Structure 1
Amino acid sequence: MRPISVIRSLSIAAAFAASCIALVQPALAWEAVEQVRTYPVSGQSGPELYRSIGENGPVISGNRRTIAHTTFKLTWRRDYRERADGSCVIARNIPKLIITYTLPKPLGPVPAGVASSWKRFYDGLAKHERVHGQYIIEMVRAIEDVSVGLSAPNDPGCRKVRAELQRHLKRLSDEQRARGRDFDRVEMGDGGAVQQLVLGLLTGR
């Protein structure tokens, strides 16, 4: 009789494991959509183009203009599941992430010498903004990691687990913003990469 009992125990354990796997499903592969939006600038020299950037660049923080900007739109398809024991678990949390890089673009052709310095300037700006984009992607992956399988006991209506998720969202969002500010502080500070890009455009180097 003992072998039969062992087989039955194994069958029950296997069934339980299968139900747990079905309850919390692995994250599905996803990719961020990255797009570039341009704003027009005009001029036939580096200083003229940079002056136009100051007049037409994207507005941030009220009425302050900047050279380039990264924004994103993030939505989620979440699967909250109430368990028989009264708890609630996030079984799946699938993001849809669209990142938009806003960069300057001359309205028309510029002289050959200016065009080469402009290309270096533009490529450097795009590289800088894509770092911000990478920080956003890493934030979203961190949200996905912390949320799938997140659960709360005695949670009819899944209110507790939603509140717990919001705490994680705030923490991870604050971390992403801090990383972006620290990166800009270095890149835009004395001798930083963005400062060098601006000097190169102004002097034609």
Structure 2
Amino acid sequence: MLAVGIAFYPFAAQADWQPVEIVKTYAIAGTTGAELYDSIGERGPLLGPKVRAIAHTDFKLTWTRKYEPQPDGACMITVNIPKLMITYTLPKPSAQLSASTRKSWQKFIAGVEAHERVHGGFIKDMVKEIEAISVGFSVPDDSKCSKIRVELTKRLGEISSKERQKNSDFDKVEFSDGGNLQQLVLKLVREE
């Protein structure tokens, strides 16, 4: 629900932007599917003090924004251009793999990367949503453009919370019994 007196104007996006997407790898050891998965457990990206992941998607988001006082005393965002960098961190075997293990690994890593790219899509959607509410956002009686920043921060927090929840819900399904990632892990370990 919008607060009374705060306005949104239907401005078009300031510029076409594209995220920069980077794939980083971390080395894992082993020559069998089970050994590779064990190595992921030892070397995977840390998500907490003792929690390792198979892969991880992270992002850096900055904005070029212009806050302009208006003749009526309001403040409006007139320029709002995102700069988004998404980094996917994936495991990569350091040893040569046999033909059968390589085939299992290729299926596994393709599935893991596809999973991480869904997270990347959630991030892109979040940025588009922020952009949509920000361009033309206005707060009355704010000639110093200070109230607008507080109001915008509230809305950004709500959007960010929704994005985190989407990621969490997606991971719960993917890692659940019979879920896509659970199946990928089982097939790798069994070298199917």
Cα deviation, residue 63, structure 1: 2.5
Structure 2 residue 24 is matched with structure 1 residue 41: no
Structure 2 residue 35 is matched with structure 1 residue 53: no
Cα deviation, residue 90, structure 1: 0.3
Whole-angstrom distance in 2 between the partners of 1:188 and 1:25: 39
Structure 2 residue 129 is matched with structure 1 residue 138: no
Aligned to 1:82, which of 46, 63, 69? 69
Aligned to 2:54, which of 63, 67, 80? 67
Whole-angstrom distance in 2 between the partners of 1:59 and 1:93: 33
Cα deviation, residue 109, structure 1: 1.1
> Could you tell me whether the CA contact under 8 Å between 1:25 and 1:91 is conserved in 2?
no
Whole-angstrom distance in 2 between the partners of 1:149 and 1:62: 42
Structure 2 residue 58 is matched with structure 1 residue 32: no
Cα deviation, residue 108, structure 1: 2.3
The TM-score with structure 1 as length reference comes to 0.87
Whole-angstrom distance in 2 between the partners of 1:25 and 1:80: 16
Q: Structure 1 stretches (4+) deviating beyond 4 angstroms?
A: none
Structure 2 residue 102 is matched with structure 1 residue 111: no
Structure 2 residue 164 is matched with structure 1 residue 169: no
Structure 2 residue 89 is matched with structure 1 residue 102: yes
Q: Render the CA deviation track for 1:99-153: whole Å, top value 9, x for unaligned.
A: 0000000012111110000000000000000000000000000000001111011
> Could you tell me whether the CA contact under 8 Å between 2:68 and 2:77 is conserved in 1?
yes
One-letter code aligned to 1:176: E
How many residue pairs match? The answer is 183
> Could you tell me whether the CA contact under 8 Å between 2:13 and 2:131 is conserved in 1?
no
Q: CA RMSD in A?
A: 1.2
Structure 2 residue 171 is matched with structure 1 residue 193: no
Unaligned runs of 5+ in 1: 1-20
Residue equivalent to 1:12: none
> Could you tell me whether the CA contact under 8 Å between 2:31 and 2:95 is conserved in 1?
no
Once the two structures are aligned, what percentage of the paired residues are identical?
49
The TM-score with structure 2 as length reference comes to 0.93
More helix by share: 1
> Could you tell me whether the CA contact under 8 Å between 1:25 and 1:92 is conserved in 2?
no
> Could you tell me whether the CA contact under 8 Å between 2:63 and 2:83 is conserved in 1?
yes
- The structure having more radius of gyration, on CA atoms, is 1
Moved more, 156-165 or 73-82: 156-165
Whole-angstrom distance in 2 between the partners of 1:198 and 1:63: 20
Cα deviation, residue 25, structure 1: 6.2
Moved more, 56-65 or 175-184: 56-65
One-letter code aligned to 1:68: A
Unaligned runs of 5+ in 2: 1-8
- Describe the SS at the equivalent of 1:65: coil
Q: Render the CA deviation track for 1:51-82: whole Å, top value 9, x for unaligned.
A: 10000000012221110100000000001100
Structure 2 residue 135 is matched with structure 1 residue 148: yes
Matches within 5 A, 1:7-22: none
